[in-house]
A and B are shown apart, each in its own frame.
Chain A
Amino acid sequence: AQTVTQSQPEMSVQEAETVTLSCTYDTSESNYYLFWYKQPPSRQMILVIRQEAYKQQNATENRFSVNFQKAAKSFSLKISDSQLGDTAMYFCALPRVQGAQKLVFGQGTRLTINP
């Protein structure tokens, strides 16, 4: 069974700092996607970044990048030059079954960016 674990319930950094959110997972699949979602106070779930497991290159979207370690089943999110608008809950997610998009979510990390 697929599982996703986020071990940091809360994090807090100063504006402009770099912050890394951790995520570990377990799956028996050999090829899969991994996702990070952001949920700001407006509660909208926003897809931040995705990684395809067969790609060795880490995905990057502007200030957001991932450190994907397939052997270790680790998928961390790095936010560079953090901004106040980055304050949100962040969820790591993994599809439950290859080819299907039933996402299994981690427990979430509440990130606060302080001015």
Chain B
Amino acid sequence: DAGVIQSPRHEVTEMGQEVTLRCKPISGHNSLFWYRQTMMRGLELLIYFNNNVPIDDSGMPEDRFSAKMPNASFSTLKIQPSEPRDSAVYFCASSPGFGAFFGQGTRLTVV
């Protein structure tokens, strides 16, 4: 298995632009998570899906952030409009029910 695949690996965008991060979970895993990592706040859970259904989005910072999981093999995290404070590494992770397996992350820089 190729593991959790995220794209792009790096994204640099201007403030106000829309950013879409993509994730392909490990086949057969029924849970998917989006995390954000910054030096100041560490690893934060943004949203959690179970069987493609959003279960808990209480970690989503504000309405500018949205996430979808249209099927078991694909998820997106969208930021619109982006702001410099959104700069961070965004991780997608999937789980078969215990433990989470992470993608390599997307480093987002908003200038």
Residues of A within 8 A of B (CB): 33, 35, 37, 42-47, 50, 91, 96, 100-103, 105, 107-108
Contact = CB atoms under 8 A, between A and B. Distances in A.
Contacts of A33: 98-99
Contacts, number: 48
A47 to B, nearest CB: 5
Contacts of A91: 43
Contacts of B89: 43
Interface residues of B, number: 22
Contact of B42 (A47, A50, A100, A108): A108
A107 B42 contact: yes
A47 B100 contact: yes
B48 A102 contact: yes
Interface of B: 31, 33, 42-43, 45, 48, 50, 55-56, 89, 91, 93, 95, 97-102, 104-105, 107
B42 A105 contact: yes
A13 B42 CA distance: 24
A79 B91 CA distance: 26
A100 to B, nearest CB: 7
B100 to A, nearest CB: 6
Given A91-B43, A100-B48, A47 B99 contact: yes
Given A43-B104, A44-B104, A45-B91, A102 B56 contact: yes
